[in-house]
């Protein structure tokens, strides 16, 4: 019988990944295209990726696919052939992580980008809250390359719009980019329309991490009457690669937040954020070590030592308790915070 899900425990999978000697490549990709039977597509893809020792997180829906994965470097050609031979994914752009496993080898155990393969069928590959049946992803904004982005963003008639969450914008962003200050992408879409309603004749460039959110956002803006809408091809990840390859001026400052165990990849040496606990210059994201919390926060090395990797004194005290006691305290309680907490108003309790 073919394997369609993981049969090993998380601890076993982590030990296997830690013991791996071969370097891994971390990549992301997406495509909006119609998938008639997402479950069948998912099952077939899982079997093929599992055979190549691919780890990662993939969402499949009628509207397309969204993936962030890693695989052994020796399997790179096999992986590329697999993608190329999958109907709907021909000539797909693969975004290679700016910092992949060569740098990650220096991180402690578990620091690699992924350690398990999960492919989930969803209603949409990006939760957008759009219910208008006339909305058409086929009518999207124009791609801009890194070179064209630089030129167009120099135009005073251009507005650069960041379509990511506040914790992503906080540690890295393009020059003069505006933030859409909402907690979720589904809230951002109508808010972006409202914020820019008097700028419908200007050039609007939208960007995100890998391109998937800003591509949908560009279509939504056109749907709402905007005329000159663009989105950055391949997002920040592809931009950073093309800037380096072409010797172009880099207009992105800081770190690019990524949704895997690395929690960020360095684009420039600039640190534009501060520690959420003491206010010192820092841009290292971490999750509170207390399993009943896991709040995402920026924490400097000093505060990490003071609070033992926790977000507050309360969580530090709980984290110091025996594991059985911690587990008992969590019984019947909902998690106070989520790993990727999106709220702009969440306060650190020191």
Q: Which residues are known to be catalytic?
A: 208
Residues 6+ apart with CB under 8 A from 93: 29, 233, 234, 238
Block residue for tokens 């393009």: 174
CA–CA separation, 208 and 162 (whole Å): 6
Q: Sheet of 265-266: strands edge to edge?
A: 172-174, 252-256, 265-266
Nearby residues of 145 by Cβ (< 8 Å), 6 or more positions away? 233, 242
- Contact between residue 69 and residue 94 where contact means Cβ atoms under 8 Å apart: no
State phi, psi for 67 to the nearest 5 degrees. Answer: -140, 145
CA dihedral (33, 35, 39, 42) positive or negative? negative
CB 129 within 8 A of CB 186: yes
Determine the Cα–Cα distance for residues 120 and 39; give it in Å rounded to an integer. Answer: 9
Q: Which two tokens stand for residue 34?
A: 């119609």
Distance between CA 63 and CA 126 in Å, rounded?
Answer: 9
Which residue, 294, 257, 239, is CA-closest to 95?
A: 239
Alpha-carbon gap, residue 343 to 270, rounded angstroms: 25
- Our measurement of the distance from residue 16's CA atom to the centroid of its chain's CA atoms, rounded to an integer in Å, reads 25
Structure tokens at 290: 């207390």
Give the C-alpha separation, 320 to 318, whole Å.
Answer: 5
């Amino acid at each position: 019988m073919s394997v369609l899900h993981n049969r090993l425990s998380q601890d076993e999978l982590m030990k296997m990944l830690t013991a791996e000697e071969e370097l891994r490549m971390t990549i992301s990709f997406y495509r909006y295209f119609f998938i008639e039977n997402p479950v069948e597509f998912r099952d077939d893809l899982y079997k093929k990726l599992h055979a190549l020792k691919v780890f990662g997180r993939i969402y499949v829906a009628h509207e397309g696919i969204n993936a962030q994965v890693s695989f052994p470097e020796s399997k790179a050609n096999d992986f590329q052939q697999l993608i190329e031979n999958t109907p709907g994914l021909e000539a797909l752009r693969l975004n290679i992580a700016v910092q992949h496993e060569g740098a990650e080898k220096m991180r402690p155990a578990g620091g690699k980008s992924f350690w398990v393969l999960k492919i989930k069928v969803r209603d949409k590959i990006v939760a957008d809250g759009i219910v208008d049946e006339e909305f058409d992803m086929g009518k999207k904004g124009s791609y801009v390359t890194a070179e064209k982005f630089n030129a167009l963003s120099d135009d005073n008639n251009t507005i650069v719009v960041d379509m990511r969450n506040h914790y992503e914008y906080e540690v890295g962003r393009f020059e003069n980019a505006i933030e859409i200050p909402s907690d979720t992408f589904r809230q951002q879409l109508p808010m972006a329309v409202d914020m820019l309603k008097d700028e419908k004749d200007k050039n609007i460039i939208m960007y995100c991490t890998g391109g998937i959110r800003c591509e949908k956002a560009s279509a939504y803006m056109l749907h709402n009457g905007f005329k000159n809408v663009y989105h950055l091809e391949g997002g920040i990840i592809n931009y950073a690669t093309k800037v380096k390859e072409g010797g172009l001026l880099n207009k992105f400052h800081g770190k690019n937040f990524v949704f895997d165990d690395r929690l960020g990849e360095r684009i420039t040496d600039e640190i534009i954020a501060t520690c959420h606990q003491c206010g010192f210059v820092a841009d290292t994201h971490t999750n509170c070590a207390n399993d009943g919390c896991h709040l995402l926060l920026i924490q400097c090395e000093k505060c990490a030592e003071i609070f033992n990797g926790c977000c507050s004194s309360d969580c530090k005290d709980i984290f110091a308790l025996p594991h059985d006691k911690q587990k008992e305290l969590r019984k019947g309680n909902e998690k106070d915070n989520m790993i990727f907490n999106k709220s702009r108003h969440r306060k650190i309790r020191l």
